[in-house]
Amino acid sequence: MALPFSSPRPAVPAAFEKLQTLIELEFTESTLKFYMNGTKVELQNPNPEWTLLDFIRSQHGSKGTKLGCGEGGCGACTVVLQSVDTRQKGKLRHMAVNACLFPLVGVVGKHLITIEGLGNVENPHPLQERISKLHGSQCGFCTPGIVMSLYALIRNSYDPLSKVFRLSASDIELEGHLDGNLCRCTGYKPILSAAKTFILEDLGGNLVETPSDENIGMTVDKDGKDVLYRSEVIPESLLKKSAVSCGRPGGCCRDKPNASTTCSGGDSTETTSASEESLSASDEESSASSHSLNETEIMGAEYGKPIKSRVRDPPPGKEGEGTKTGTVLDAPPPANDDGNLNLEFLPYTPATELIFPPSLRKFEKTPICYGNSKKIWLRPTTLDQVLALKDLDPTIKLVGGASEVQVEVKFKNSQFAVSVFVAEIDELKDMVVPESKEDLSAMTEFVIGANTSLTDLEYACKSLYRSLGRRGLVLEACRKQLRYFAGRQIRNAASLAGNLATASPISDMNPVLLASGATIMAKSLALGEFPLPMDSFFISYRKTSLPANATITKIRVPIPAAETQEVMKAYKQAKRKDDDIAIVTAAFRVRLDNKGSVEDICLAYGGMAPFTTQAKKAKGVLQGLKWYDSRTLDAGLKALGEDFNLNFGVPGGMATYRKTLALSFFFRFWHEVVKELELGEVDEDLINEIHRGISHGARDNKNPYEQRVVGKQVPHLSALKQNTGEAEYVDDMPHQDRELYGALVLSSRGHAKYEIDWSPAIGPGLAIGYVDKNSISKEQNLWGSVIKDEQFFADGEVFSHGQTIGMVYAETALQAQAAARAVKITYTDLPVILTIDEAIEQKSFYKHGRMLKKGIAIDGNIEDAFSKCDRIVSGTTRMGGQEHFYLETNAALAIPHIEDGTMEVWSSTQNTMETQEFVSQVTGVPSNRINARVKRMGGAFGGKESRSVPIAAILAIAAKKEKRPIRCMLNRDEDMMTSGQRHPIQARWRVGVMNDGKLVTFDADIYNNAGYSYDMSGAVMDRCCTHVDSCYEIPNVHIRGHLCKTNTHSNTAFRGFGGPQAMFIAESYMTAVAEELGMSVDDLRIKNLYKQGEYTPFLQQIDIDWHIPQLFKETKEQCNYEERKAAIEVFNKKSKWKKRGMAMLPVKFGLSFATALHLNQAAASIKIFADGSVLLHHGGTEMGQGLYTKMCQVAAQELNVPIDAIFTQDTASYHTANASPTAASSGSDLNGMAVKDACDQLNARLAPYWAKFGQSASMKTIAHAAYIDRVNLAANGFWKMPKIGYTWGNYDVKTVKPMYYYFTQGIGCSEVELDLLTGDHTVLRTDIKMDVGRSINPAIDYGQIEGAFVQGQGLFTMEESLWTQDGQLFTRGPGTYKIPGFSDIPQEFNVSFLQDVEGGWKHLRSIQSSKGTGEPPLFLGASVLFALREALVSARRDNGVKEYVALDSPATAERLRLAVGDDILRMGTVEPKGERNFFVAVA
């Protein structure tokens, strides 16, 4: 067969000429054959640029698999590949992989299972149902990927022969099966609870099923083709039942539409009552209480028949509207028995799972070639074919799991004309694991096939180490590094050979192989098989000694003899424990002679040089020395310092931290060897790294304010759809007729003049057009939420890396992206301002000028107040920014209509009004012709309040130009470069205080880094200034805010909107004052708490709604604060190398659009149809926070209907005009009151009919009667927030109006443990108590609190944004920017609500007396930082360091380690000699 080009065949491109003969002789197949969700797929010569994800999302009805990052770092694209594991006697294997990376050719011969294959809303998989009912889904964008990772784990744990699940709760959390999945909303706790209860309750840990009477085999015809077949393990009883349906939870091919699921055992559901962790009053969620017989049920609405089809003059007894259909909730709330929740779940029946297509068991591999004239894929079946290809063309790219290759293609624009998929070559996967005692005793080496997956290797090393004991320490070192290498999906697909060939200088495994003395075996046609010793394998950066025409075949790892005194250990430090690239990684091996002296040693490091390297000076110094001698340790540390004499500006930065880690690892290793070989006594704390246990926690599910609907723990109304992949996001919307795809052309410079040539991007296979500054007028080109100072398209000069220059559009997304890369831009660089300090020095500010004054500062001089203080404490507090990292990047779809210039704009936005207004501006039509719509967002957190506008407007410009629909979804790096983040803040403050701890005076200049445009930076600074008092009364205050103009992206709204930064400043000065006075910071806080009647710096009086003192008191008691504090003191006295700390912080967060008074309004419309169904629209948008659910609860409560009678389709500017953005935690307050207003109007009109038919009547009866009487069944509600209206500059307490409607309050207490050698830490316990008023939906509010806390934990301890010196954003994806993962959350995580308040919040004039919960809890994540600081203080005291430690945010592992103040740090300190740090932090 010829190369797979269309006929007549063109001339063979030069790139393929060398391979032509071999391909035409042996690679005769160009069709990819596999199964997808039980359906056979034959894909003829597909696009060679496609990944597996590209194929999946090209298929109709397969949009549940999401694109979250494109680099395998978030898990949103997780799918499962089902195949036969030939090494385990044909057992089925379920491999979770990242579809965004995995080569499409890799699915050949496998069964591809996506989220749609598990179940749907009508017939969900029990796992999908459980996660939805237990509130494990908020925005839902990450949910399908998490479900698929859990699905693979569960399927792999089942043995169909013994019918036993070998699985425990620890497998879920401690073995890394979810480490490749990220969630930004939930805080992970409810997901883990759902997964663990599924195992403990549905599977019973080791669930043994009732064995069937006979072994049921596959049904295959004589040709091996599929016929109707059934699972090998379906019990006979179920087979007899299922003549119509097999009962598979996801639905059977024989099911009729909406057929109910048949389950073995009779009942279709099982009931779970309150149990220890997940569902009790001490933990998981949801609530529904008993109600009177006359009350309308919470769900189960029925709808009347069409008016015109009803019988006229019906006979007696047949009157009324009849019933045409009914509805129920997808995920009903549980019954709440005094805080104990009872939920019903579908039972799990393994026999009804999607089965492996029998014909695939007989699948025969054939060589495959497919592609086009630019790129081809080859899939050889033998090693000889690979060697022949390599011999003909050494430049071909060998690809296994593509975890590195696809990142190079997508983000580095690498082009590989010939890619060869080698992961399925059997000769390269051999790995013999001896099992018998004899074989284990005789074992001298462990031979690993080059293409053995890292997961298989991890498990093999774990098994062998158990058998070999100390002889297997090298394998334990391998296992340890592999456990924390990337995510499970990557480990499933990646191989050791791929890891070696990429030669990363920060590889986790390469130091292990180097230290162990491993040998790489390679093979080529010319040389045959030959060895490559590890100690000479790495030559320079990304270069190895592997000949270009050879391939790695196996790796030989030596195993020492039983009598050998040899120890090997491996170490790694990263920003995050799970799924993170190393900062420094190391592996050490030492062999001692019978006198205890060093016979052989190897100290291998990654992250300390351009390639994996040995510490050669240290090796020479240590050779022959007696190990158990402190002088040996000292000599080793000194020699290592000489081996790694890094300069301050070393690429990658962190010179001092990296050198200190290199020394700290050796220090730990020296002690571990002493312990392992029993040479002496060592401190266990020193040799034991931090490891977490299984997390657990509590929620208080008692709710004294629960009503019929409001107050119940109704699961998110979209939760089940999100779990089944049926929830639709913007990029999931069906392809429109003649639709085009856009790709932005962005600046690659921080500040520069530029010239551009679009012509290389336009042409066949690339773009068909573009838009830029010339597409609209200069006036149209300006936009901004507050000040119009930002350009949609740069105009000759760019002011930030990632600023939009233009957009190309093409027939496909891949073509558009290729075209964007082809645009030629010539830059002339200009100076950049990046940091706040640089902006201050160069006086680069936006006009702002707002300040707050209180006390003497109003009419006098603040210095007079300072002069009366006993002490003055001053300091500078710095806090970095934070990337939103919503899982769904910014996306939009513009659909133009020829008639009247109207346009429909679907956008992932929090702000339909601003989207509508600026699309109107750029298209030149009035707003009434632009319908801005959003159904849901995959997370937002403020990042889609204003920064979603440009992409929608730019698409609208192109759509108008081409008169065709155009869509675009940003890649993760594009989104992070363009969307801005939380404002970095710097405060320079002074506090005047009396010796008894009473605060007297506060003076501060607060600076935020606004970026290259104004955006909402002024409003962020306003909120920051009004929260810098936190909960503390200070009589005299002068606060000034400044906005720094820099060349970073334009920073914007982010959950908390300046509040978290302000309260961090407050707790920083409180900590400094406490240490200056020598008093407990807890006592200082209590002493200075506001009292009722006192005034804030913006002169708002603290009123009856002040509960911080009560919250402090209750939280201290409930979390045993004093006892635990005393225990920590005891621990720290005993432990030198690990320290613990605890901190308890308050939060007071003002609710309202502070000084943007006009935004404090909302509208809603309700339409009751004649059948009794209710359509609800309001201006609020759904981003995972459950606003749609809460508003439906409010409407259902007010209208006396079941909640499923209420439906909200989307948020649209045509339904709700002039909608305020869904932000400031006011979505429920504003829209809820507007909904209530509409309900009140309707209730007034319907009152006569309720009186006539009674309160037990259904809405179908009421609506029918009202319609017949010509009553208006539609109402528009409106509400504006009363009493607020603060005016800046008004210092008269008699006339100034409140800035905030009320304050949401809370307390957070966290306890941590810190490893002083590495800076690594774990959160042992967190307790949160929040005043949320009377919760509309406690489950949703708990989810908001836990999710906000974990996001705050990331902000204050982990998430660090970095720039290069020339102004490029470095952290622009999950590979470089780390948000918390599953294993970062508190090990014990307890959350409760304040309940017993005098008056029961009747004074609140908010909807249902509830309070906003979205933003306030985020700051409580700072309790982790301040607890870590307490641990540091203890360590520094031990080390004789007396200076005050100002711990800036984020308190990364680097920052923590560099503050310990020990001798190793002093040895590792690198002083600058004129160099600048490689990276820039802009606070």
Per-residue tokens: 1295: 């006339």
Per the CB < 8 A criterion, the answer to whether 1361 and 979 are in contact is: no
Angle between helices 1227-1253 and 1187-1199 (to 10 degrees): 30
Question: Which of these is catalytic: 1415, 1443, 1471, 1475?
Answer: 1415
Per-residue tokens: 1327: 């307790």
Q: Dihedrals φ, ψ of 1217, to 5°? A: -80, 145
Residue type, 1309: C
Per the CB < 8 A criterion, the answer to whether 230 and 253 are in contact is: no
Residue type, 1457: R
Tallying the residues shown for the chain, one arrives at 1483
Sign of the CA dihedral running 1155, 1158, 1161, 1162: negative
Across 1124-1153, b (16+ Cβ under 10 Å) vs e yields: bbeebeebbeebebbbbbbbbbbbbbbbbb
Q: Dihedrals φ, ψ of 679, to 5°? A: -85, -20
Grouping H, G, I as helix, E, B as strand and the rest as coil, residue 449 is strand
Residue 1254 CA: distances (Å) to CA of 554, 1057, 1195: 80, 48, 19
Q: Dihedrals φ, ψ of 36, to 5°? A: -130, 115
Q: Tell me the C-alpha distance between 745 and 817, whole Å.
A: 9
Per-residue tokens: 191: 């997901």
Per-residue tokens: 946: 């204003």
Residue type, 48: P
Per the CB < 8 A criterion, the answer to whether 321 and 1261 are in contact is: yes
Closest CA to 580 of 1457, 1379, 1351: 1379
Per-residue tokens: 1457: 């380690």
Residue type, 1204: D
Element (H, E) at 1432: helix 1422-1438
Asked if 904 is an active-site residue, the reply is no
User: How far, in whole angstroms, is CA 1021 from its chain's centroid?
Assistant: 27
Q: Is 229 exposed, middle or buried (0-12, 13-18, 19+ CB in 10 A)?
A: middle
Q: Where do runs of H (alpha helix) occur along 159-202?
A: 169-174, 189-197
Kindly state the DSSP code that residue 705 receives in the 8-state scheme.
T
User: How far, in whole angstroms, is CA 121 from its chain's centroid?
Assistant: 25
Q: Tell me the C-alpha distance between 586 and 1040, whole Å.
A: 48
Per-residue tokens: 496: 């050791």
Cβ atoms < 10 Å from Cβ of 779: 8
- How, if at all, do strands 565-574 and 551-558 pair? unpaired
Per the CB < 8 A criterion, the answer to whether 976 and 750 are in contact is: no
Per the CB < 8 A criterion, the answer to whether 341 and 287 are in contact is: yes
Closest CA to 30 of 371, 373, 360, 418: 371
Contacts 24+ apart (CB under 8 A), 620-626: 622/590, 622/598, 623/598, 624/597, 624/598, 625/597, 625/598, 626/595, 626/596, 626/597
Element (H, E) at 613: strand 613-614
Closest CA to 1160 of 1103, 1225, 1095: 1225
Kindly state the DSSP code that residue 534 receives in the 8-state scheme.
G
Per the CB < 8 A criterion, the answer to whether 227 and 220 are in contact is: yes
Q: Which residues are catalytic?
A: 1415
